[in-house]
Amino acid sequence: MSSPARKIALVGNPNCGKTTLFNALTGLRQKVGNYPGVTVEKKVGEMRSLHGEKIELLDLPGTYSLSARSDDERVARDVLLGDLKGTDRPDAVLCVVDASNLERNLYLVLQVIDLKLPVIVALNMVDVLEEKGQRIDPDALSQQLGGTPVIPCQANQEIGIVDIKGALSRTPHRSHRRWNAGEDVERILEKSAEVLIARGVPNAAAHALTIISDRAMRDRTHDHCIDHSLLDELEPIINGEAADSDLPIESRIVAARYETIGQISAASVRGGDAPMELSFSDKLDATLIHPIKGWLIFIAVMVTMFYSMFTLASVPMDWIDAGFSKLGEWAGASLGEGDLKDLIVNGIIGGVGGVVIFLPQILILFFFIGVLESSGYMARAAFIMDRLMSKVGLNGKSFIPLLSSYACAIPGIMGTRTIEDDKDRLVTILVAPLMSCTARLPVYVILIGVMTPNADAATRTSLMFGLYALGTLGAFFFAWIFKRAFSKNAASPFLIELPPYRMPGWKLVFQQLLDRGLVFLKRAGTIILGLSILIWAASTYPKPADPDTPREIALEQSYMGQAGKIIEPVVEPLGYDWKIGSAIVWSFAAREVFNSAIGIIYKVGEEAEEEELKTALANAKHPDGRPIFSFWVCAGLLVFYVFAQQCIATFAVVKRETASWKWPIFQVVYMTTFAYFAAMAVYQIGSRFFG
């Protein structure tokens, strides 16, 4: 029987390259970014040592210390203490250190060593330090850390990976605490550990030091698994032994650690005597985060991204168009007349093809997001937006999840775990789905095309940019309202580390593109396919007794037609007929289903081309000859899709993250209600006063 795999935890400060190193060691594809808090979940991968031994790597959330203030930091601390249910305490820890910020990173290294865990230090970004004219002597640093192995590396270039695997292959080294805060502190640690041992607490010394050095834990101001009665038992020990000190015990421990860090750095860092010059990143930041120039560049980057989505994507979209068209023609010619042919051609090929065609535009969006993250610009975008976020009571840390929501609201909502303030986190969760995600993109493209049939790419880019801006402003508006309703506190200061600019990791960017593309296709092959079949069935049955009944009448007599007639009075003030209302109802499961539903309703599946769908919608008329998809109906529909909450997966994630049914229900109600009245206002005002 084989022995279980050794478990190694990866820990490190945000932006130290920990996730990049995790990918390099395991080959597991995972999102990589340069802004704090990108790793918000436990991530596990497998690797083989140089001797072929199987090792399980655990990528813990980035944290600056083990004095946890947010959910992801609590996860890191609890795993290292062995307190996280369902996760074994690691056998060793691989501490990833940003060599260009050695002193700050060493604080976490000392804390991990204090937990009596075997530690290996991966000294990452040594190239960035050398650009400053400095270097770190790994042997001297290892000696200063009590023999802890120190391996220089450049994770983004996969330099030093073999050496790290070699260090992980050897028996891990267990160092000892490197600092001393005084005899009274030592007595407190010893007596506290004895109490914990008597109470049966595992890893008693590690728990004792964590409790004593974390005032918030003793004050019960954040959650942890330590019994409160145990804290009550420890408090007299702490207060009694440290009664003569002017400083709180936790401050003395912090000071002792930093004093030791200063000594370690002085003995390990070489060079740096020459006057410091502005780095390449510093010179770029003088422009990119300038109060005026920074905003102009940020807007230019966003416009370029949306313009590329319309221009660069047109060629591959034509290829997909042609592919589905050929497939539809082949299926139509191969199958005999009947329901099966109708289902395959109009239901499946038409429904799924109407969504898959937008894959190139979605990939272009993810490509830009990946490059911005990987190059270091995303953190600057958050810094720039902090000035705007503070106006609504939030800070730039809330903007990072909101920015992620441009791709998908789900990772954005999960990314709110990095926000320490519970009220700020709730507000960010509630407004995150207002940021236009990629699922809205197919709907936007179709409706913009129908609304402006003769517009050029620049005009359509402006409209698309306007829709994204409208969603963002909506998120800020509701954040301002919720912040004042839920919390009277001012926004907390936003601290963000601006990583150095670097060439994007192309391999990781394209891995991310591949992952996102597969996720989109899987969604099209499952959810969209299933809903397309249901929509086809609802629009086909029951069939009229007379097989020669015109399609329009047969559609009205179908289950979809009967239901659509019921809801028609509700959507009529928005300028919609029952067909649009039915497509909207179906798209509450997933927004992009609107395209599938409207394509099946107007029976353009055989051609399955974007232009054919646009033509069918543009030619659709009311009985009195008025166009169904008039300019103001399309404008109202676009506004509706900007604000409405139409995603079952998002609903489920909000329920999980808030541990309540109340907030996801509230989110659906407030977003959809606002979307309804906003769309009605656009249609009624636009059609009455502007024709």
Count Cβ atoms within 10 A of the Cβ of residue 601 and give its class: 0-12 exposed, 13-18 middle, 19 or more buried: buried
Query: 37: annotated binding-site residue?
Result: yes
Query: 125: annotated binding-site residue?
Result: yes
Residue 236 is encoded by which pair of tokens?
Answer: 């007299």
Query: 60: annotated binding-site residue?
Result: yes
Query: 326: annotated binding-site residue?
Result: no
Query: 546: annotated binding-site residue?
Result: no
Q: Name the 3-class secondary structure at 645.
A: coil
Which amino acid appears at position 493 of this protein?
A: P
Query: 615: annotated binding-site residue?
Result: no
Separation between Cα atoms, residue 313 and residue 331, nearest integer Å? 27
Alpha-helix residue ranges (DSSP H) falling in 269-376: 280-288, 293-311, 314-334, 339-342, 350-356, 359-375
Which amino acid appears at position 58 of this protein?
A: L
Separation between Cα atoms, residue 552 and residue 548, nearest integer Å? 11
Query: 171: annotated binding-site residue?
Result: no
Query: 109: annotated binding-site residue?
Result: no
Query: 101: annotated binding-site residue?
Result: no
Query: 14: annotated binding-site residue?
Result: yes
Query: 59: annotated binding-site residue?
Result: yes
First to last CA, the chain: 78
Q: What angle do CA 598, 603, 604 make, to 5 degrees?
A: 90
Query: 127: annotated binding-site residue?
Result: yes
Query: 12: annotated binding-site residue?
Result: yes
Residue 326 is encoded by which pair of tokens?
Answer: 């050929």
Length of the chain (residues): 691
Query: 272: annotated binding-site residue?
Result: no
- The answer to whether 104 and 64 are in contact (CB under 8 A) is yes
Query: 17: annotated binding-site residue?
Result: yes
Which amino acid appears at position 6 of this protein?
A: R
Q: What angle do CA 314, 320, 324 make, to 5 degrees?
A: 140
Write the CA distances from 208 to 76, 189, 194, 197, integer angstroms.
17, 6, 9, 10
Query: 19: annotated binding-site residue?
Result: yes
List CB contacts of 319: < 8 A, sequence separation 6 or more.
Answer: none
Query: 191: annotated binding-site residue?
Result: no
- The answer to whether 208 and 249 are in contact (CB under 8 A) is no
Separation between Cα atoms, residue 197 and residue 214, nearest integer Å? 19
Cis (ω within 30 of 0) for the bond into 542? yes
Separation between Cα atoms, residue 386 and residue 498, nearest integer Å? 13
List CB contacts of 411: < 8 A, sequence separation 6 or more.
Answer: 31, 404, 405
DSSP H or E stretch at residue 562: helix 559-571
Query: 653: annotated binding-site residue?
Result: no
Query: 669: annotated binding-site residue?
Result: no
Separation between Cα atoms, residue 382 and residue 375, nearest integer Å? 14
Query: 126: annotated binding-site residue?
Result: yes
Query: 581: annotated binding-site residue?
Result: no
Task: Output the known binding site for Mg(2+).
Answer: 23-24, 26-27
Task: Output the known binding site.
Answer: 12-19, 23-24, 26-27, 37-41, 59-62, 124-127
Task: Output the known binding site for GTP.
Answer: 12-19, 37-41, 59-62, 124-127
